């Protein structure tokens, strides 16, 4: 991004791009000098969310920031509205939490020195890619960021360097490349049809027709593959089960959501009235909820339970499409808020859950659920964290998941789309089934006594903070939702 600066360069814009690109520098720095303690990482990262917080304040007071970078012929558009700002804030907080957790993880397990050093530039790259995805407003920038995100994610998955992780990581790479191919084809079609790539221009010039339809289908297929939406979720579970805990946490919380975010942006601009296709997406989401829930219920390893639960929870997000397409403004507003609240709540809770599960496994030295017997006595804190994160996933109060479910139910009832009410009910019950299956094992008292290892206190604390913030977001939802209503809805 060392392009000639646009004349409209303002102070907030500088702050924004610094917030987006500084993680790259920090990552490179940490590659050279891998951190040995949690505190420096925490201190180095903290200014970033603060900067975003300030930007959000600006946005809520003065409307969205927009801008263009000119690279010769190319024009790269970006904008920062309430939604993008909130997602940026969420991303920075989660990245900071994972980075700090990773230091503890390195101390608690014996990770190869080189692999651990390699984690940091990849993390920086992922941070930059995600940030750019939230603010990008043209298909070219989005493509570049999406590729960067995919490659850094694959790189992080390969870090363990062992059999299962390598196989799963390579499979993920192939899926990601196929997804990119579909995406490129879609972009090419759109470019040929309208000659523009910026989102606002596309929304203005594109007309419904076979070309738009096919292009959107290609784009959607690529993104659904990257977002691991049923039935294209095959790559997700092995990857999550074999990757390092901080990596699975980030991936389940953010990376899959980025593709969903892009899909939503495009859908709203290109085919907002495509009711039939939107229902198809909603149905896919419903199947994801059911299938993910069932598989999580059947899984025997704790990390697989968490990974399958991601497949199921992503399905809830897809319910937004039918509730936004061709419905009244009241329903659309409700569904819009519900979706992003659900996304944020799930991101926080899923990261917390992965970390809590990782802590349980590390401390107990076991990976199967049935081996967790008696952990409620020996490892109360990670188990409690797991439970608190699960409260959000089950949509029980007080949590972001609950408030989002309330909004989603309200939207579905107002729109008269009762199918989604049934999906929400079944999904919640399935989630409770697999969560409490873990607890039933943990509460067994007649267990042989294992020695448990002690972990750095920070690892438990970070997970606990994340799960508590997922709960708190449920009651403090008005502030982010007001920002969402203020801007960001197409």
In whole angstroms, the minimum distance from the beta carbon of 294 to other proteins comes to 17
- Answer whether the bond into residue 151 is a cis peptide, omega within 30°: no
Q: In whole angstroms, how close is the CB of 452 to other proteins at the nearest point?
A: 14
Shortest gap between Cβ of 445 and other proteins (angstroms)? 3
Residue 406: name the closest of 325, 483, 475 by CA: 475
CB closer to other proteins, 37 vs 440:
440
Only one of the segments 23-31, 160-168, 224-232, 471-479 lies at the binding site for other proteins (rule: CB under 8 A); that segment is 471-479
- In the complex, the smallest distance separating the C-beta of residue 296 from other proteins, rounded to whole angstroms, is 16
195, 327, 336: which is closest to 264 by C-alpha? Answer: 336
Nearer to other proteins among residue 256 and residue 391 (C-beta): 391
In the complex, what is the shortest distance from the CB of residue 320 to other proteins, in angstroms, rounded to a whole number?
A: 17
Looking at the Cβ atoms of 273 and 478, the one nearer to other proteins is 478
Residue 199 or 391 having the CB closest to other proteins: 391
Indicate whether 406 belongs to the interface with other proteins (CB under 8 A): yes
Q: Is 405 in the site for other proteins (CB under 8 A)?
A: yes
Rounded (5°) CA angle 239-245-247: 65
Q: Is residue 444 part of the contact set for other proteins (CB under 8 A)?
A: yes
Residue recorded with tokens 């909004």:
407
CB of 299 to other proteins, least distance (A): 18
The residue among 92 and 337 lying less far from other proteins, judged by its C-beta, is 337
Q: Which of residues 373-402 bind other proteins (CB under 8 A)?
A: 376-377, 380, 384, 391, 394, 396-398, 402
443 touches other proteins (CB under 8 A)? yes
246 versus 480: smaller Cβ distance to other proteins: 480
> Which of 71, 425, 453, 457 is in the footprint of other proteins by CB under 8 A?
425
Only one of the segments 4-12, 20-28, 343-351, 408-416 lies at the binding site for other proteins (rule: CB under 8 A); that segment is 408-416
Contacts of 15 (CB under 8 A, 6+ apart): 51, 54, 55
- Which one, 50 or 425, has the nearer CB to other proteins? 425
Residue 367's φ and ψ, nearest 5 degrees, are -120, -10
Give the nearer residue to other proteins in terms of CB position, either 221 or 464: 464
Task: Tell me if 354 sits within 8 A of 426, measured CB to CB.
Answer: no
Asked if 69 interacts with other proteins (CB under 8 A), we say: no
In whole angstroms, how close is the CB of 436 to other proteins at the nearest point?
6
Supply the minimum distance, in Å, between the C-beta of residue 124 and other proteins.
36
Least Å from the CB of residue 259 to other proteins: 28
Total number of residues binding other proteins (CB under 8 A)?
38
CB of 281 to other proteins, least distance (A): 23
Query: Around Cβ 451, how many Cβ atoms within 10 Å?
Result: 8
Q: Which of residues 331-370 bind other proteins (CB under 8 A)?
A: 337
Stretch that binds other proteins, among 20-28, 209-217, 455-463, 475-483 (CB under 8 A): 475-483
**How many residues would you count in the chain?**
490
Burial label, 448 (beta-carbon count in 10 A; 0-12, 13-18, 19+): exposed
Assigned token pair, 38: 């949690």
Closest CB 210 distance from other proteins, rounded Å? 38
Short-list 238, 232, 236, CA closest to 160: 238
User: Does residue number 413 form part of the binding site for other proteins (CB under 8 A)?
Assistant: yes
Q: How many helices (H) and strands (E) does the chain have?
A: 22, 2
**Residue 176, phi then psi, degrees to nearest 5:** -65, -40
The tokens of 331 are what? 């329903």
Residue 112 exposed, middle or buried by CB count within 10 Å (0-12, 13-18, 19+): exposed
Among 1, 3, 71, 421, binds other proteins (CB under 8 A): 421
Q: Among 217, 275, 280, 409, which residue sits at the site for other proteins (rule: CB under 8 A)?
A: 409
Residues 190-229 that bind other proteins (CB under 8 A): none
Q: Are 88 and 134 in contact (CB under 8 A)?
A: yes
Please state, in angstroms and rounded to a whole number, the distance separating the CA atoms of residues 19 and 128. 9
Which one, 202 or 323, has the nearer CB to other proteins?
323
Crossing angle, helix 329-364 and helix 256-270, to 10 degrees? 170
Do 96 and 81 contact (CB within 8 A), yes or no?
A: no
Query: CA 304, CA 307: separation in Å to the nearest integer?
Result: 5
Residue of 135, 134, 481, 483 lying closest to 335 (CA atoms): 481
Residue 436 near residue 383, CB atoms below 8 Å: no
Minimum Å gap between C-beta 297 and other proteins is 13
Tokens representing residue 285 in the block: 């989401």
Report how far apart, in Å, the C-alpha atoms of 196 and of each of 8, 71, 191, 401 are. 22, 15, 6, 38
Contact status: 429 vs other proteins (CB under 8 A): yes
Which tokens go with 123?
Answer: 């993390």
Binding site for other proteins (CB under 8 A): 337, 376-377, 380, 384, 391, 394, 396-398, 402-403, 405-407, 409-410, 413-414, 421, 425, 428-429, 432, 436, 439-440, 443-446, 474-475, 477-478, 481-482, 485
């Amino acid at each position: 991004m060392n392009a000639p600066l646009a004349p409209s360069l303002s102070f907030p814009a500088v702050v924004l791009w610094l917030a987006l690109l500084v993680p790259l520098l920090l990552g490179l720095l940490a590659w050279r000098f891998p951190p040995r303690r949690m505190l420096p990482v925490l201190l180095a990262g903290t200014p970033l969310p603060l900067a975003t917080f300030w930007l959000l304040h600006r946005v809520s007071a003065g409307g969205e920031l927009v801008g263009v970078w000119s690279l010769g012929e190319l024009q790269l558009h970006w904008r920062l509205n309430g939604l993008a700002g909130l997602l940026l804030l969420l991303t920075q907080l989660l990245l900071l939490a994972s980075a700090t957790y990773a230091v503890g993880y390195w101390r608690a397990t014996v990770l190869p020195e080189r692999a651990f050093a390699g984690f940091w530039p990849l993390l920086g790259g992922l941070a930059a890619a995600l940030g750019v995805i939230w603010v990008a407003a043209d298909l070219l920038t989005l493509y570049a960021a999406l590729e960067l995100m995919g490659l850094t994610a694959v790189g992080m998955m390969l870090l363990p360097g062992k059999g299962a992780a390598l196989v799963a990581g390579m499979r993920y790479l192939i899926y990601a490349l196929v997804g990119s191919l579909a995406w490129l084809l879609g972009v090419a079609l759109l470019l040929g049809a309208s000659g523009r790539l910026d989102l606002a221009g596309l929304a203005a010039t594109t007309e419904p027709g076979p070309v738009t339809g096919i292009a959107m289908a290609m784009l959607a297929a690529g993104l659904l593959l990257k977002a691991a939406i049923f039935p294209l979720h095959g790559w997700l579970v092995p990857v999550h089960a074999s990757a390092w805990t901080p990596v699975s946490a980030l991936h389940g919380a953010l990376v899959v959501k980025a593709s969903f975010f892009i899909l939503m942006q495009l859908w709203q601009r290109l085919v907002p009235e495509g009711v039939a296709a939107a229902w198809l997406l909603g149905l896919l989401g419903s199947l994801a909820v059911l299938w993910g829930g069932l598989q999580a219920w059947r899984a025997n390893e704790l990390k697989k339970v968490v990974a399958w639960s991601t497949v199921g929870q992503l399905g809830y997000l897809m319910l937004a499409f039918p509730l936004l397409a061709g419905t009244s403004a009241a329903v659309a507003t409700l569904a819009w808020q519900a979706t992003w609240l659900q996304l944020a709540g799930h991101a926080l809770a899923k990261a917390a859950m992965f970390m809590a599960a990782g802590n349980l496994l590390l401390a107990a030295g076991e990976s199967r659920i049935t081996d967790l017997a008696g952990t409620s006595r020996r490892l109360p804190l990670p188990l409690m964290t797991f439970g608190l994160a699960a409260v959000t996933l089950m949509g029980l109060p007080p949590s972001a998941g609950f408030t989002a479910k309330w909004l989603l139910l309200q939207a579905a009832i107002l729109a008269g789309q009762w199918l989604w009410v049934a999906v929400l009910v079944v999904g919640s019950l399935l989630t409770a089934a697999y969560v409490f299956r873990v607890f039933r094992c943990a509460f067994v008292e007649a267990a042989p006594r294992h020695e448990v290892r002690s972990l750095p206190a920070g690892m438990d604390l970070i997970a606990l903070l994340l799960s508590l913030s997922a709960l708190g977001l449920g009651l403090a939802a008005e502030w982010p939702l007001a920002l969402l209503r203020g801007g960001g809805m197409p």
